């Protein structure tokens, strides 16, 4: 009986959190597309830095004077 109550509460809380996430994603003020673009750009830079020793390409950290 106690497990059913806990399971029900967890299900309701999960639904509330899911609804909150959905509301933030579709909000006009959330700028979701800008956040996704920034995350994708950062991920692409991380991949480039990770493979640079293999490919021989520089990662170009111009702001720090490091272009190795």
- Delimit the domains of the chain by residue range: 28-68
pLDDT digits (tens, 9 = 90+) for 2-23: 888 999 999 999 999 999 888 8
pLDDT digits (tens, 9 = 90+) for 53-64: 777 766 555 444
Q: Is the pLDDT of residue 35 over 90?
A: no
Query: Residue 32 has what pLDDT?
Result: 73
Average pLDDT of every residue of the chain: 78
How is the chain split among helix, strand and coil, in percent rounded to 5? 75, 5, 20
């Amino acid at each position: 009986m106690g497990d059913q109550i806990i399971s029900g509460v967890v299900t309701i809380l999960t639904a509330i959190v899911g609804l909150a996430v959905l509301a933030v994603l579709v909000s006009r003020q959330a700028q979701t597309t800008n956040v996704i673009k920034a995350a994708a750009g950062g991920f692409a830079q991380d991949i480039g830095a990770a493979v640079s020793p293999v490919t021989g390409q520089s990662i170009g950290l111009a702001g720090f004077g490091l272009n190795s």
